[in-house]
C-alpha cells in the first residue's frame, strides 16, 4: 500500500481512538475521599440501601425507601417536606427538601430524580443511582462554603406509572415551583456507560457553555436532543419542560438489557458511571448556586446551539445560526473546488467514485441486516421487534462488523478505483456526505454536524493548492479527509449503539463505509494537481480503465 494510504489509515485510526475516548470514565473515588469531593463508593451505599427489593409506588417497600430518604435528607440539614398527592388513583409521596443559601430570598436550583422502581426490578440504576448522586452531592456541598442560592431536591414517586409525582408537584405545589429557576433531572436506561446530557430546555446555548466550563468530562450532543424530541419517550423532565422550566436532563444508557429487569441490582451498577454522574452534578450545582439572579435569567432562551464531544473532556459548541450558515456555505465551496480542479477532474471518473461509495454503503448495510437477522435468530428466535436487546458484548459485535466494513470498503477502493487520481476519489466520495449534510440541515439541524464537518473539511482539501507535491501538503490533505468523519462517527455510533443496541447496525455500517471512502481518498496514482495545465491520465494496471 502506498505511503499516503498508510498515512490515511493511521490518522483515521487515531481519530477513532480520540472519538471513543469520551467513554473512558473517571475512576470511582473511595469512601475515604475528601469530604468536599464526590465519592461514587459513598453514593453506592445509598443505592445498596434503596434497591434491596422491588419498591414501586404504593408498596410497603416504597414506604421504607421513602423513610430512609427522609431521614438522610434531615441528617444533611435540609428542611424536608413530604408532599402527599394522588394521581390516577395512586397515592404518592414526593419528598422535597431545601438546602438554605446565604440569602433566603434567592431563587431555587432544583435537583430531581425518582425513587420508585418498576414492579419487575429493584431499580438500582433506574433510578436509585440518580437519587444517590443527589444525596452525595448535597453532602459534598455541605462540606464546602455555603452557596448564595437555595438548592432544593425533589425525589418523585410514581414516575414509572406515568410521571405521576412530577405532575402532582407542578399542579399541586405551585408555591414551591414558582421559585425554581433551573432544573437538573437525573435518569437511567441501563447500568453502565457514560452519562449523557441528552435533553435541554429550548434556547440552551448558555446552559451548554456552563456545562462545558464547569464539568471535567462532559458528554453531550445536540444529535441526541434532535432524536429524543421525535421519540414518544418521557421522563419527569418532560413535565417541567411543559411547565416552562429551564434545565437539563441526564441519563446513562449502556446495558439496556438490564433496564426494568430483576438484574437492575446494586452489584450490576457501574461505580465509574456513578462517579461520572457526580462529575456533572456537583460542579453544576455549585456554579448555579453561586450565580446571580441576572445570570440565571440569562440562561433562558439564549438561542439554540450545536454541540458535541470531540474527545474526552472537550465539548465543542456554537450557535445554531452558525451551523446553518456553514451548511449553506459548504455546497458553494464544493462547486468552487470542483471548478478550480476542472482540468484534472474527469467527470465520468468522479461519478465512478460516487458509484463505488454508494456500492460500499449498500454492501455494508446489507452486512448489517444479515448480522442483525442472524443474531436475532440466535438469541431471540421468537422476535423482539427491530432491535436486538440483551446480546452479550454488543460493543464487541459492532466493533467486529465495523472492521469487516472497513476491509470491504478498502478492497473495493483498491480494486475499482486504482486508476483514479486523489481528487477524483475525493470529489466522488464527498458527494454522499454533501447530500447527507443538506438533508440533515433541513430536517434535523442540530444533528447536521455529523455530516457537515467531514464534508466541509474534505472540500477544503480539494482547495489545497496544487503544484509540486510536498510532505506538508500530503499530510494536510490526509488530516482534512481521514480524520473528521471517523472522529465524529466513532463517539456518535457508540452512543447510538448503546441506546438502541446493535439493531441499528445497517445504518452504522453504511456510514462507516462512507467514512472509510474519505480515509482512502488521498491515495491515488498522482498528487492533486493545480488548476493550470493539462492533466495526463495515469496508466491503469491491466491496460483498461475501471470507469468512464
Does residue 282 lie in a domain region? yes
Sign of the torsion angle spanned by Cα atoms 480, 482, 485, 488: negative
**DSSP code at position 404:** H
- Residue 469 is predicted with a pLDDT of 60
Residue 545 is predicted with a pLDDT of 39
Domain boundary among 255, 276, 311: 311
Provide the mean pLDDT of the chain: 89
Whether 546 is covered by a domain: the verdict is no
Residue showing cell 450558515: 325
Strand partners, 180: 108
Q: What is the CATH number of the domain that holds 220?
A: 3.40.630.10
- Alpha carbon dihedral 356, 358, 363, 364, in 10-degree steps, equals 110
pLDDT exceeds 90 at position 474: no
pLDDT tens-place string over residues 500-514? 778 889 999 999 999
* 336 and 473 co-located in one domain: yes
246 touches 182 (CB < 8 A): yes
Same domain as 191, residue 61: yes
- C-alpha–C-alpha distance, residues 194 and 371, integer Å: 26
Please give the grid coordinates belonging to residue 347: 467527470
Q: Would you give the DSSP letter of residue 124?
A: I
**Comparing C-alpha atoms, which of 52, 76, 75 is closest to residue 64?**
52
432 and 479 inside one domain:
yes
The residue among 285, 311, 337 that closes a domain is: 311
- Spatial separation of the C-alpha atoms in residues 38 and 48, rounded to whole Å: 17
Least confident of 2-11, 281-290, 360-369, 536-545: 536-545
Which residues share a beta bridge with 307? 317
In a domain, residue 531? The reply is no
- Going by pLDDT thresholds of 50, 70 and 90, the confidence category of residue 529 is very low
Buried b / exposed e across 342-370, counting CB within 10 Å, b at 16+?
eebbbeebbbbbbebbbebbebbbebbee
Q: What is residue 476's DSSP assignment?
A: H
Whole-model pTM: value is 0.90
Q: Give φ, ψ of 292 to 5 degrees.
A: -80, 160
Contacts of 19 (CB under 8 A, 6+ apart): 310, 311, 486, 487, 488, 489, 490, 491, 494
Q: Distances from the Cα of 511 to the Cαs of 44, 189, 516, 517, in angstroms?
A: 39, 26, 9, 10
Q: Cell numbers of 411, please?
A: 478492497
Residues 74, 159 share a domain: yes
> 10 Å Cβ neighbour count for 27?
9
Q: What pLDDT, in 10s, does the model give residues 386-402?
A: 455 555 545 678 889 99
Q: Which helix (H) or strand (E) holds 86?
A: strand 79-87
- The answer to whether position 293 is within a domain reads yes
Same domain, 99 and 131: yes
Contact 351, 540 (CB under 8 A): no
163, 234 Cβ separation under 8 angstroms: yes
Highest mean pLDDT among 83-92, 98-107, 147-156: 147-156
Do 353 and 450 fall within a single domain?
yes
Mean pLDDT of all residues in 152-160: 97
* Burial category of 14 from C-beta neighbours within 10 Å (exposed 0-12, middle 13-18, buried 19 and up): middle
The answer to whether residues 203 and 54 belong to one domain is yes
Choose among 523, 528, 502, 543: nearest CA to 409. 523
Percent of the chain with pLDDT over 70: 91
Domains in the chain, number? 2
What band does 117 get if pLDDT is binned at 50, 70 and 90?
very high
What is the C-alpha to C-alpha distance for residues 389 and 260, in angstroms, rounded to an integer? 13
Q: How confident is the model at residue 542 (pLDDT cuts 50, 70, 90)?
A: very low
Select from 267, 282, 311 the last residue of a domain.
Answer: 311
CA–CA separation, 145 and 132 (whole Å): 22
The answer on 368 and 301 residing in a single domain is no
φ, ψ for residue 181 (rounded to 5)? -110, -35
* 254 and 339, same domain (yes or no): no
Q: How many CA atoms lie within 13 A of 106 on its CB side?
A: 25
pLDDT at site 277: 98
**Helix or strand holding residue 477 (H, E):** helix 471-482
Q: Residue 240's closest CA among 165, 188, 294, 325?
A: 165
124 in a domain, yes or no?
A: yes
Strands across the sheet containing 192-200? 79-87, 90-99, 150-156, 108-114, 180-186, 247-254, 192-200
Residue 382 confidence (pLDDT): 62
Query: Residue 479 domain-assigned?
Result: yes
Say if residue 340 is in the same domain as residue 426: yes
End-to-end CA distance of the chain: 25
Q: What is the pLDDT of residue 194?
A: 96
Same domain, 76 and 16: no
Among 397, 393, 466, smallest CA distance to 426 is for 466
For residue 539, is it within any domain? no
Assess whether the previous peptide bond of 127 is cis (omega < 30° from 0): yes
Closest of 509, 523, 494, 8 to residue 252, by C-alpha: 494
> Are 288 and 407 part of one and the same domain?
no
Q: Does residue 541 form part of some domain?
A: no
Q: What number of CA atoms fall less than 13 Å from residue 3's CA on the CB side?
A: 5
Beta strands in 261-339 (DSSP E): 305-311, 314-319
Name the most confidently modeled range: 378-387, 438-447, 458-467, 538-547: 438-447
* Nearest Cα residue to 523 out of 415, 417, 451: 417
Burial of 452 (0-12, 13-18, 19+ CB in 10 A): buried
pLDDT digits (tens, 9 = 90+) for 221-259: 998 888 887 777 899 999 999 999 999 999 999 988 899
Give 20's contacts (C-beta < 8 A, 6+ positions apart).
Answer: 490, 491, 494
Q: What angle do CA 231, 232, 236 make, to 5 degrees?
A: 105
Residue 79 backbone phi and psi in degrees, to 5? -80, 115
Tens digits of per-residue pLDDT, 31-44?
A: 999 999 999 999 99
Q: Whole-angstrom Cα distance, residue 543 to residue 222?
A: 50
Per the structure, the complete domain to which residue 372 belongs is given by 3-21+320-520
pLDDT of the residue at 87: 77
- CB 229, CB 304: distance < 8 Å: no
Amino acid at each position: 500500500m502506498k505511503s499516503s494510504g498508510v498515512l490515511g489509515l493511521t490518522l483515521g485510526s487515531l481519530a477513532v481512538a480520540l472519538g471513543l475516548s469520551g467513554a473512558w470514565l473517571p475512576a470511582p473515588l473511595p469512601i475515604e475521599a475528601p469530604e468536599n469531593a464526590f465519592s461514587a463508593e459513598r453514593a453506592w451505599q445509598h443505592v445498596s440501601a434503596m434497591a434491596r427489593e422491588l419498591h414501586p409506588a404504593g408498596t410497603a417497600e416504597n414506604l421504607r425507601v421513602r423513610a430512609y430518604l427522609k431521614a438522610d435528607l434531615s441528617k444533611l440539614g435540609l428542611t424536608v417536606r413530604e408532599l402527599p398527592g394522588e394521581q390516577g388513583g395512586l397515592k404518592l409521596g414526593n419528598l422535597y427538601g431545601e438546602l438554605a443559601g446565604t440569602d433566603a430570598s434567592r431563587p431555587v436550583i432544583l435537583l430531581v430524580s425518582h425513587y420508585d422502581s418498576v414492579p419487575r426490578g429493584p431499580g438500582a440504576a433506574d433510578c436509585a443511582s440518580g437519587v444517590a448522586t443527589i444525596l452525595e452531592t448535597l453532602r459534598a456541598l455541605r462540606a464546602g462554603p455555603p452557596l448564595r442560592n437555595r438548592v432544593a431536591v425533589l425525589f418523585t414517586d410514581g414516575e414509572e406509572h406515568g410521571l405521576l409525582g412530577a405532575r402532582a408537584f407542578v399542579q399541586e405545589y405551585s408555591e414551591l415551583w414558582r421559585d425554581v429557576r433551573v432544573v437538573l433531572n437525573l435518569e437511567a436506561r441501563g447500568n453502565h456507560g457514560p452519562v449523557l446530557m441528552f435533553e435541554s430546555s429550548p434556547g440552551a446555548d448558555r446552559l451548554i457553555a456552563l456545562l462545558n466550563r464547569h464539568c471535567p468530562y462532559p458528554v453531550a450532543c445536540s444529535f441526541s436532543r434532535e432524536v429524543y424530541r421525535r421519540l414518544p419517550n418521557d421522563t419527569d423532565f418532560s413535565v417541567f419542560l411543559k411547565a416552562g422550566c429551564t434545565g437539563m436532563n441526564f441519563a446513562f444508557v449502556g446495558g439496556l438489557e438490564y433496564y426494568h429487569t430483576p438484574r437492575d441490582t446494586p452489584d450490576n451498577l457501574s461505580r465509574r458511571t456513578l462517579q461520572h454522574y457526580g462529575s456533572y452534578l456537583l460542579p453544576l450545582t455549585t456554579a448555579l448556586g453561586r450565580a446571580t439572579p441576572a445570570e440565571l435569567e440569562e440562561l433562558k432562551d439564549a438561542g439554540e446551539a450545536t454541540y458535541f464531544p470531540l474527545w474526552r473532556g472537550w465539548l465543542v459548541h456554537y450557535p445554531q445560526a452558525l451551523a446553518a450558515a456553514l451548511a449553506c456555505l459548504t455546497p458553494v465551496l464544493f462547486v468552487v473546488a470542483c471548478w478550480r480542479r476542472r482540468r484534472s477532474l474527469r467527470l465520468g471518473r468522479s461519478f465512478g467514485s460516487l458509484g463505488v461509495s454508494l456500492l460500499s454503503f449498500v454492501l455494508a448495510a446489507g452486512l448489517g441486516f444479515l448480522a442483525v437477522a442472524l443474531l436475532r435468530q440466535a438469541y431471540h428466535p421468537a422476535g423482539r421487534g427491530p432491535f436486538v436487546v440483551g446480546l452479550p458484548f454488543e460493543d464487541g459485535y459492532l466493533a467486529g462488523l465495523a472492521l469487516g466494513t472497513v476491509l470491504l470498503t478498502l478492497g473495493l477502493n483498491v480494486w475499482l478505483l486504482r486508476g483514479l487520481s486523489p481528487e477524483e476519489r475525493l470529489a466522488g466520495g464527498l458527494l454522499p456526505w454533501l447530500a447527507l449534510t443538506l438533508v440533515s440541515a433541513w430536517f434535523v439541524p442540530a444533528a447536521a454536524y455529523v455530516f457537515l464537518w467531514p464534508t466541509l473539511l474534505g472540500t477544503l482539501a480539494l482547495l489545497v493548492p496544487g503544484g509540486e507535491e510536498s510532505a506538508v501538503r500530503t499530510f494536510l490533505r490526509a488530516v482534512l479527509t481521514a480524520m473528521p468523519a471517523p472522529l465524529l462517527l466513532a463517539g456518535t455510533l457508540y452512543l447510538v449503539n448503546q441506546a438502541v443496541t446493535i439493531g441499528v447496525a445497517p445504518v452504522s455500517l453504511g456510514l462507516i463505509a462512507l467514512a472509510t471512502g474519505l480515509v482512502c481518498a488521498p491515495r491515488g496514482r498522482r498528487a492533486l494537481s493545480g488548476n493550470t495545465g493539462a492533466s495526463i491520465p495515469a496508466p491503469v494496471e491491466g491496460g483498461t480503465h475501471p470507469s468512464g
